[in-house]
Structure 1
């Protein structure tokens, strides 16, 4: 019986892979042959398979906005060995991205980027409505090329330079960061983050949405910048960002009037004022989550306080050097302790 169960379990484990390999087997084989004969390399990341960006031998900057086209109504069994040569008839491709399902079929749409807007216009004119298979006329139009993200709910003490550094460690292709007052909170801020391309912005959105979205103890949201907000941005009507440092307020009839540039120093000043002894931090990083999240455990002992502060949290930025990781984690922990003690007024 045990051997039968093992054979059954082994068969069940193999079935999904057998099924995946059997889907569209003929076209997959033709794709592999074309890749080898044409010496083309494709890279698959996060559900999309990419050629170029830039292609081999490319010299110069990436193409301007407006040079990318959207390709829709694709038969799901059609791959790059058919699509890339078709779109190369119009002109040299800088990049081609085919959206893929887990089974190895395409998701029915793709993006192609040309060196100039003029060549992209030619592709739209010549290939929109092209019958790629009997009964399948593809749709070709200009891509919307979203490249701006909105991060809302950021703490007011995080300045532009700090945010640029954090995002630079978490994502790639950041072109500009702008801070404004949050439309949903009187004390928080909103950031508009511009990326060099739609692809980099989409990967950044996926990365930032992974795991727990908390920055220095404050939850934040990530979304595409909507048209209504974009219009306000261009019109210059978005309000200036809030700027505050956590204030230390009453605790056992003692009020701290001093300000410090960060939460660690605020806690230090508070403990010094009440003669509690300085906090002792113990921080242990437990491992990497996906897309740059670091989980850590902490314990902080304040000699004059009866109970140590312990817990778990997440930190953005696995590309930080060890000292930076420790300092950012320490800052998050100090801010959390100040909140737990009721010493922060936002």
Structure 2
């Protein structure tokens, strides 16, 4: 069988006894194992599977595995508590496992049973394993994109080379001046993992040098989310403002959906259009007891025919930013809209 041939490749170097036992088990059971991209996989779906893949939450992470243990011991163990849809063991080039695996069950309930029954189970004497809920990460981040790349171009490219991409968001890079930072969301952890490998190994001409591809970390995700929340707080009561002191005709600021820092985004856009760096002048002209502050502003963009000026309401909060800094962010939103940016 093809599965047996795949395993044979790993039975000649280190840990020969256990590798031979694995090969014998594969021949005896007829189970199909496929080695691909640094992992060995069973199922996904298994031979007798009918219907859609299991829902999110059906996968468990298995850690603290002894490196000389293989599927002939692990798969029967994890099958003993529920029906397996897929089992993936991460492998080294020498044929040892990398100390962790993923077991996906047919439903969430079976995954919960596996966690309760197998966490701290000793697969070898003195070697308790860890079994917990898999995060099933589906989001990647790409840093170092050129400021010239547009969302439509990136979307077209990624659809061609990374199956399963659902959406893309572009932001000014938090670490590279003038660069861009992309968040890519995929329809499954496997699709995201395959995309990560493709982008890391091939780079694919992603409009920049030294592209960095990684999983989107929780702290960055929270930072993006808090930025949107902060920008939303700039809006005094929505389109029908609940702020009675807001002057008729003053702009109402809507949340920005695709910028990590509004001023950086504006600067990048002006650089792309060769307009020069915007120069801001703000002056506080009114302070209300409820925390709303009204600013007069003027912004000069060297390559633009005339300066921008007007009034802007902002509300103080505990973000640590001064009123002038919040006003500049709010004003930048209006300028992005004026300059034809589609993100506001």
Q: Name the counterpart of 1:226.
A: 217
1:42 Cα deviation (Å)?
A: 0.9
Matched, 1:201 2:227: no
* Partner SS state of residue 223, structure 1: strand
Gap regions ≥5 residues in structure 2: 1-7, 230-256, 260-264, 276-302, 304-344
The 2-side partners of 1:127 and 1:103 are apart by 27
- Map 1:97-136 onto structure 2 (within 5 A): 97-136=88-127
Q: Name the counterpart of 2:182.
A: 191
The 2-side partners of 1:128 and 1:164 are apart by 41
TM-score of the superposed pair, with normalisation by structure 2: 0.60
The 1-side partners of 2:121 and 2:58 are apart by 20
Gap regions ≥5 residues in structure 1: 1-16, 250-256, 258-346
Say whether the 8 Å CA contact 2:35–2:41 is kept in structure 1: yes
- Greater Cα offset, 164-173 or 93-102: 164-173
The 2-side partners of 1:19 and 1:85 are apart by 20
Q: Name the counterpart of 1:65.
A: 56
How far does the alpha carbon of each residue in 1:104-123 deviate from its partner, in whole angstroms, 9 at most, with x for none? Answer: 12122211111222211110
The 2-side partners of 1:231 and 1:199 are apart by 23
Of structures 1 and 2, the one with the larger relative CO (CA 8 A, separation 6+) is 1
How far does the alpha carbon of each residue in 1:28-69 deviate from its partner, in whole angstroms, 9 at most, with x for none? Answer: 222222222322111112221111122223233332332221
Question: Which of 152, 155, 160 is equivalent to 1:164?
Answer: 155
* Partner SS state of residue 206, structure 1: helix
Cα 1:179/1:122, change in 2 over 3 Å: same
| Backbone CA RMSD of aligned residues | 3.0
Say whether the 8 Å CA contact 1:74–1:108 is kept in structure 2: yes
Matched, 1:144 2:135: yes
The 2-side partners of 1:19 and 1:198 are apart by 26
TM-score of the superposed pair, with normalisation by structure 1: 0.59
The 1-side partners of 2:10 and 2:34 are apart by 23
Question: Which of 22, 25, 28 is equivalent to 1:31?
Answer: 22
1:247 Cα deviation (Å)?
A: 5.1
Say whether the 8 Å CA contact 1:157–1:245 is kept in structure 2: no
